[in-house]
Structure 1
Amino acid sequence: MRNLLEATIADVREAAQNDSALLVSPTHVLAAAQAPHVATVAGYPTGRHHSLIKASEARLAVQSGAAEVWVAVDALLGDATALLTDLITVREACPQPVALGLIVPSSEHAAAAARAAAQAGFDKLIYATQEHLAEAETQIAREPAGVLPALVWPTAQPALVWPTA
C-alpha cells in the first residue's frame, strides 16, 4: 500500500491511475477513487477527536469510496470503557464489509487498545514500526486481539509515534 497522507491532490489523482492500493487523507478519498483499493484514516494523528467526529469522518470517507479506514485513538486514554465506546461508534458508522484497522498506540495502553479493537469488530491492527509490532505482539499474544492481522505502517510516510507516558 502506498502512503499518500502528505501528498497533494494532484499526486493522489496520478497515483490512483497507477497504483493498486493507496492510503490517503480523508479529504483525498474522492481523488483516489480510481485506485482498486483506497484506505484512509480517521482521528489521525492524535486520536483525540470526539467519537462522533471520528465516526463521521470515517463514514464520509467510506461514502466517498474508501474500502478501509485506519482509526487513531488517544494513546494516553486509560479508560477502557471510553476506548471501547470510541471504537464501537466508528464500527457502527462503518459496518462490514468496510475494513477497519486500529493504529495501535506506542504506549502502555497498546494491549488494551488492541483488545478493544477485537471486541469492537475491527479487522486489523496497524503498528508504527516493525519493532513496535514485535513489542506489542508479546503483550497481546494470548489475548483475543492476537488473532487480528497485524500490519506495519507503510514506510513512505512514517506514522506518528505516540508518547509513552
Structure 2
Amino acid sequence: MPDAPLTRDRVAQMVDHTLLKPEATPADVDALIAEARDLGVYAVCVSPSMLPVRAEGLTVAAVAGFPSGKHHSLIKGAEARLAVEQGAREIDMVIDVGAAVAGDYNAVLADILTVREGIGEATVLKVILESAALSDEAIVECCRAAELAGANFVKTSTGFHPAGGATAAAVRLMAGTVGGRLGVKASGGIRTADAAREMIEAGATRLGLSGTRAVLDGFAPAG
C-alpha cells in the first residue's frame, strides 16, 4: 500500500504519457507534449521514429522492439541507441515473448543485455514482459533476467497484445520478485483512477497511460 495519499499531483509524477499508435503524426506528438506539460506528468513515451522532439521539462522515453519483441536483439540495441542519441532518456524494450513462453530465459537475458549495452548505463531501461501472455513462472524468471541484465524497471505490457494488458496480480508478482530493487511499470488498459489506484497499491511505481487526463481527473488535488 502507498504510504502517502494518492493525490493528483503525486500520481501525475508516476505517469509516462504515451502515444504509440502507428498512425500518430508529428502534430499528434506535439499535442501529446503540450498536454503532458499541462497535466504535470513525469514523462512522455513515443515511437523512436518520432524523435527528436522538443520536450523541455519532461523526460522523453522511446520504445524498442515494439510491439512484438520479435526483432533481432542487435536491431533492438541499435534502435534503442539511436533513440538515445536523438534525445530519449528512457527506453522501453519488448522482450522476445516467444522465448519466455518456451522457457528460454537465457535468450531473454541475452536480449536485454544487448539493449543495455547499446544504450549504456546512464539511460533508464524498462523491460516489457507482456505479462498477460506469460505464466507466473515465466513472469518471475523474466523479472530475474531483467534484474541480472541491469534493467531499471520491469513493465507489464505493450497495450497491443490480444491477451490483454496490465493486471494487479501481475504487478504484485513482479513487485514481489524485484523486491524494490527495480521499479515496476504498469501499462496497458489502465483507463480509470480506480484501475490506476489498484496498480499502485499492487506495487506499481510508474504508469503508462494514453488517456492520462481521464485517469488523473479521478484523483483529488493535494491539500
Partner of 1:123: 152
Partner of 1:2: 17
The structure 1 residue matched to 2:209, chosen from 145, 155, 163, is 155
Partner of 1:92: 117
**Normalization by structure 2: what TM-score?**
0.63
Offset at residue 33 of structure 1 (A): 4.7
Q: Give 2:170's aligned amino acid.
A: E
Deviates more, 1:19-28 or 1:122-131: 122-131
Distance 1:44 1:85 in 2: 17
Instruction: Kindly tell me the number of residue pairs found equivalent between the two proteins.
Output: 154
Q: Give 1:150's aligned amino acid.
A: V
Partner deviation per Cα, 1:81-133 (whole Å, 9 max, x = no partner): 111111111101111210000112220222111111100000011123442x4
Deviates more, 1:27-36 or 1:80-89: 27-36
Offset at residue 4 of structure 1 (A): 1.0
Contact 1:22 1:39 in 2 (8 A): yes
**Normalization by structure 1: what TM-score?**
0.83
Change (3 A) 1:32 1:44: farther
Q: Give 2:18's aligned amino acid.
A: N
Contact 2:156 2:170 in 1 (8 A): no
Structure 2 gaps of 5+ residues are 1-15, 38-42, 158-164, 188-207, 212-223
Partner deviation per Cα, 1:18-76 (whole Å, 9 max, x = no partner): 52421100101213554621111101111111110000000000000000000101222
Offset at residue 138 of structure 1 (A): 2.9
Partner of 1:62: 84
Q: Establish whether residue 46 from structure 1 lines up as the match of residue 68 from structure 2.
A: yes
The structure 1 residue matched to 2:95, chosen from 57, 69, 73, is 73
Deviates more, 1:10-19 or 1:94-103: 10-19
Larger radius of gyration: 2
Q: Establish whether residue 146 from structure 1 lines up as the match of residue 161 from structure 2.
A: no
